[in-house]
Chain A
């Protein structure tokens, strides 16, 4: 069966510090991968998605970047965090063809 791992679960970072969140998927090949952000009590904002290694589509211009160095690995990064980067970051995958999405446990990021 397929599983998705996302870490860390919680992160507190100072303004101006770098960020690296990692997500890996097991049990499937060539998945579509996604990074979403959810502000407190709000909906899901798509940040990046990838349909293959090295292929990244950015949905919202911002302080973040994403990379997919391996088929089942998706990384969300920032060189310098802003206070507004605080939120709940969710990695998700879907089968190629994008039917349903399966989410990781999420990382709750607080920038202080």
Chain B
């Protein structure tokens, strides 16, 4: 119904390698947001995507919204140790004014 799924659950990469996490929904999304939570910290809003096929970049981070607006991805180029954390996607619920968060992808970066 209202859930969003994320894969992978965990990802361990060597510093300098690329990383991608995927977010999928069974229903069409009006928008998708991405958040980052550092270990021991709170989720921090990164970006929102609203248009079909939209691509946005923040330095080494590239966010993409699928053409059918049912999936999204976050790609990090040349990971650094500062990228460590859990990345969540979230969608606004089809009804009500709240958010449904994916289970997150926990990224570990080995120096």
Asked whether A99 lies within 8 Å of B96 as measured between CB atoms, the reply is: no
| CB neighbours of A96 from chain B (8 A) | 97
Asked whether A98 lies within 8 Å of B99 as measured between CB atoms, the reply is: yes
Asked whether B99 lies within 8 Å of A97 as measured between CB atoms, the reply is: no
Bound CA span A99–B91, Å: 9
Among A14-22, A75-83, A101-109, the stretch in contact with B: A101-109
Bound CA span A55–B107, Å: 37
> A51: CB under 8 A from chain B?
yes
**Interface residues of B, CB < 8 Å — how many?**
22
Bound CA span A99–B102, Å: 16
Taken residue by residue from 34 to 56, chain A's Cβ proximity to chain B (1 for < 8 Å, 0 otherwise) reads as 10100001111010010100000
Closest Cβ neighbor of B104 among chain A residues: A43
Asked whether B43 lies within 8 Å of A44 as measured between CB atoms, the reply is: yes
**Chain A interface bracket (under 10, 10 to 19, 20 to 34, 35 or more):** 20 to 34
| CB neighbours of B102 from chain A (8 A) | 43
Asked whether B42 lies within 8 Å of A43 as measured between CB atoms, the reply is: no
CB neighbors of A among B11-57 (8 A): 31, 33, 35, 41-45, 48
Binding site for B on A (CB under 8 A): 32, 34, 36, 41-44, 46, 49, 51, 57, 59, 90, 92, 94, 96-106
| CB neighbours of B70 from chain A (8 A) | none
The 9 closest A-B pairs by CB, nearest first: A98-B97, A43-B103, A103-B42, A44-B101, A49-B98, A100-B45, A106-B42, A32-B97, A103-B43
Asked whether A43 lies within 8 Å of B45 as measured between CB atoms, the reply is: no
Binding site for A on B (CB under 8 A): 31, 33, 35, 41-45, 48, 88, 90, 92, 96-104, 106
Q: A43-B88, A43-B102, A94-B97 are in contact. Are A105 and B48 (CB under 8 A)?
A: no
| CB neighbours of A103 from chain B (8 A) | 42-44
Bound CA span A102–B42, Å: 9
Bound CA span A86–B108, Å: 25
Asked whether B96 lies within 8 Å of A57 as measured between CB atoms, the reply is: yes
